[in-house]
A = this chain, B = another copy of it.
Amino acid sequence: MLLLASQSQIRLTLLQNAGVEVTAHPAPIDEDTLRESLQAEGATPRDIADALAEAKALKLAQKHPEALILGCDQVLALKDRIFAKPATPEEARAQLQTLTGQTHQLLSAAVLYHDSKPIWRHVGVARMTMATPTPAYLDGYVARNWPAISHSVGAYQLESEGIRLFSQIEGDYFTVLGLPLLPLLTYLSLRGFIPS
Contact = CB atoms under 8 A, between A and B. Distances in A.
Nearest to A140: B195
Interface stretch (A39-47, A64-72, A78-86, A162-170): A162-170
Interface in A148-192: 159-161, 163-164, 166-170, 172-173, 176, 181-182, 185-186, 189
B163 A186 contact: no
A164 to B, nearest CB: 6
A38 interface: no
Question: How many copies altogether?
Answer: 2
Interface in A40-79: none
Contacts of A159: 17
Contacts of A164: 18-19, 185, 189, 194, 196
A169 B31 CA distance: 31
A182 B167 contact: yes
Given A167-B186, A172-B169, A196 B134 contact: yes
Given A18-B163, A170-B172, 6 more contacts: A133-B196, A163-B185, A164-B189, A167-B182, A168-B182, A173-B176
Closest 9 interchain pairs by CB? A173-B173, A19-B161, A18-B163, A17-B160, A167-B186, A18-B164, A164-B185, A133-B196, A137-B196
Interface of A: 17-19, 131, 133-134, 137, 140, 159-161, 163-164, 166-170, 172-173, 176, 181-182, 185-186, 189, 194-196
21 contacts: A17-B160, A17-B161, A18-B160, A18-B161, A18-B164, A19-B161, A19-B164, A131-B186, A131-B189, A131-B196, A133-B196, A137-B196, A163-B181, A163-B185, A164-B185, A164-B189, A167-B182, A168-B182, A169-B172, A169-B173, A173-B173
